[in-house]
């Protein structure tokens, strides 16, 4: 049975991102996969210290962080999963601060000894897992996707964790209501993304 890990960087209970991720999780479970949902807002992940201790040892396995918070458990879940759902609202043109904080802690996936100018991603040449990338924004979805940094950040998250994006959904024009509901047409797209993921 395929194991899907969903990582959601929204701040808000039952906002558009929660609803989109919830619908994606339901779609993959209906298709027979096992899914686990991580709400970063409830997960104990601290800021990266930029110490680079985790990047010094060679090898394909993620390095070990000096911080002992929830990130190691999250890395174990990432390693065990067959595919990922990566989601964040678009805030000020990019992913939320909690999603960015999570991305920075993914530096364990880089091999970067002090003598090297730039990092090498440990999973770059490994067989790729799959990922779908989800966001929501006040702008039309197409504008949010192509004119901000969110898509790039979500793509980089997939690449760093050894995945290739197989689909993207930006749900736009949904910020004019304090309690927005996921538009019906989005569910069709979600079902097709679930198929691609599996
Ligand atoms: C602080 C803040 C910054 C935002 N920045 C943008 C933005 O740059 N572009 C955009 O299209 N929407 C922006 N929005 C709108 C959110 O992306 C949108 O409301 C999103 O659906 C929120 O996700 P949620 O429903 O999961 O909370 C912003 C909202 C807030 C509160």
The answer to whether residue 126 scores a pLDDT higher than 90 is: no
pLDDT band for 159, please (50, 70, 90 cuts): very high
115's CB contacts (< 8 A; 6+ apart) are none
> Which strand (E) or helix (H) includes residue 36?
strand 34-39
pLDDT at residue 18, as a whole number: 98
pLDDT band for 24, please (50, 70, 90 cuts): very high
CA 169 to chain centre: 13
> Does this model's pTM top 0.95?
yes
pLDDT at residue 125, as a whole number: 85
pLDDT at residue 146, as a whole number: 95
Mean pLDDT of 113-132: 94
- Identify whether the C-beta of residue 136 lies closer than 8 Å to the C-beta of residue 171: yes
The answer to whether residue 94 scores a pLDDT higher than 90 is: yes
What's the gap in Å between 64 CA and the centre of ligand 1?
34
pLDDT band for 99, please (50, 70, 90 cuts): very high
Domains in the chain: ranges and CATH: 3-197 (3.40.50.360)
The answer to whether residue 5 scores a pLDDT higher than 90 is: yes
What's the gap in Å between 172 CA and the centre of ligand 1?
10
End-to-end CA distance of the chain: 10
Mean pLDDT of 62-91: 98
Mean pLDDT of the chain: 97
- Identify whether the C-beta of residue 10 lies closer than 8 Å to the C-beta of residue 96: yes
Mean pLDDT of 56-78: 97
Using a 6 Å cutoff on CB, does residue 175 contact ligand 1? yes
pLDDT at residue 19, as a whole number: 98
* Residue 94 Cα: closest atom of ligand 1: 8
Using a 6 Å cutoff on CB, does residue 141 contact ligand 1? no
Could you tell me the two tokens for 179?
């309690």
* Residue 180 Cα: closest atom of ligand 1: 25
Question: Could you give the CA distance from residue 187 to residue 190 in angstroms, rounded to a whole number?
Answer: 5
Using a 6 Å cutoff on CB, does residue 181 contact ligand 1? no
- Identify whether the C-beta of residue 163 lies closer than 8 Å to the C-beta of residue 129: yes
Using a 6 Å cutoff on CB, does residue 92 contact ligand 1? yes
pLDDT at residue 67, as a whole number: 98
Mean pLDDT of 145-155: 97
Residue nearest to atom 18 of ligand 1 (CA): 137
Using a 6 Å cutoff on CB, does residue 91 contact ligand 1? yes
Using a 6 Å cutoff on CB, does residue 67 contact ligand 1? no
The answer to whether residue 155 scores a pLDDT higher than 90 is: yes
The angle subtended at Cα 99 by Cα 135 and Cα 107, nearest 5°, is: 125
The answer to whether residue 22 scores a pLDDT higher than 90 is: yes
Residue with tokens 């010094």: 56
- Identify whether the C-beta of residue 162 lies closer than 8 Å to the C-beta of residue 108: no
pLDDT at residue 55, as a whole number: 98
Compute φ and ψ for 131, nearest 5 degrees: -145, 145
Using a 6 Å cutoff on CB, does residue 143 contact ligand 1? no
Question: Could you give the CA distance from residue 193 to residue 39 in angstroms, rounded to a whole number?
Answer: 20
* Residue 90 Cα: closest atom of ligand 1: 17
Using a 6 Å cutoff on CB, does residue 10 contact ligand 1? yes
109's CB contacts (< 8 A; 6+ apart) are 62, 63, 121, 122, 123, 160, 161, 162
């Amino acid at each position: 049975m395929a194991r899907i890990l969903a990582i959601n960087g929204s701040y808000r209970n039952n906002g558009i991102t929660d609803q989109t991720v919830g619908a994606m999780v339901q779609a993959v479970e209906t298709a027979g996969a096992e899914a686990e949902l991580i709400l970063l807002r409830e997960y104990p992940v601290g800021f990266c210290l930029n110490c680079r201790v985790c990047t010094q040892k060679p090898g394909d396995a993620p390095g070990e962080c000096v911080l002992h918070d929830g990130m190691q458990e999250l890395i174990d879940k990432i390693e065990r999963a067959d595919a990922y759902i990566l989601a964040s609202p678009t805030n000020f043109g990019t992913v939320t601060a909690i999603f960015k904080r999570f991305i920075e802690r993914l530096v364990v996936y880089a091999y970067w000894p002090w003598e090297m100018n730039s990092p090498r991603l440990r999973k770059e040449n490994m067989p790729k897992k799959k990922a779908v990338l989800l966001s929501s924004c006040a702008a039309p979805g197409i504008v949010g996707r192509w004119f901000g940094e969110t898509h790039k950040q979500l793509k980089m998250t997939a690449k760093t964790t050894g995945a290739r994006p197989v689909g993207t959904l930006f749900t736009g024009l949904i910020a004019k209501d304090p309690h927005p509901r996921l538009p019906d047409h989005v569910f069709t797209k979600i079902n097709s993304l679930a198929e691609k993921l599996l």
